[in-house]
Amino acid sequence: EAGVAQSPRYKIIEKRQSVAFWCNPISGHATLYWYQQILGQGPKLLIQFQNNGVVDDSQLPKDRFSAERLKGVDSTLKIQPAKLEDSAVYLCASSLGGGSYEQYFGPGTRLTVT
């Protein structure tokens, strides 16, 4: 069974530039999550999708972050414009949903904003 795929693995940009991350969840998983993990901290949920609808985006900085999940499968997370404090690892995870809390994580994208 293929795992959660993410790309790119690493990205370096200057502040005020834009960046996009891509995630392909495990086939059949209805729920998709984007997390931000700052060095030395645990993952913080940015947005949760159930199929192609948003369940929770309460911690997503909507003035600069956006996310979409077209057709309920792949998802993209965008930052525009980036700030220095956005430097972090962005993790994508998926689960079956419907009360299944077990989440499967991708390898993450390490973003450095200079």
Residues that bind another protein (CB under 8 A): 4, 31, 33, 40-45, 48, 55-56, 91, 93, 95, 97-108, 110
Of 12 and 55, nearer to another protein (C-beta) is 55
Nearest to 103 by CA among 91, 112, 87: 91
**Distance of closest approach, residue 16 Cβ to another protein, in angstroms:** 27
Q: What share of the chain is helix, strand, coil (3-state, %, to 5)?
A: 5, 50, 45
Cβ–Cβ contacts within 10 Å for residue 1, how many?
6
Of 57 and 74, nearer to another protein (C-beta) is 57
Of 42 and 63, nearer to another protein (C-beta) is 42
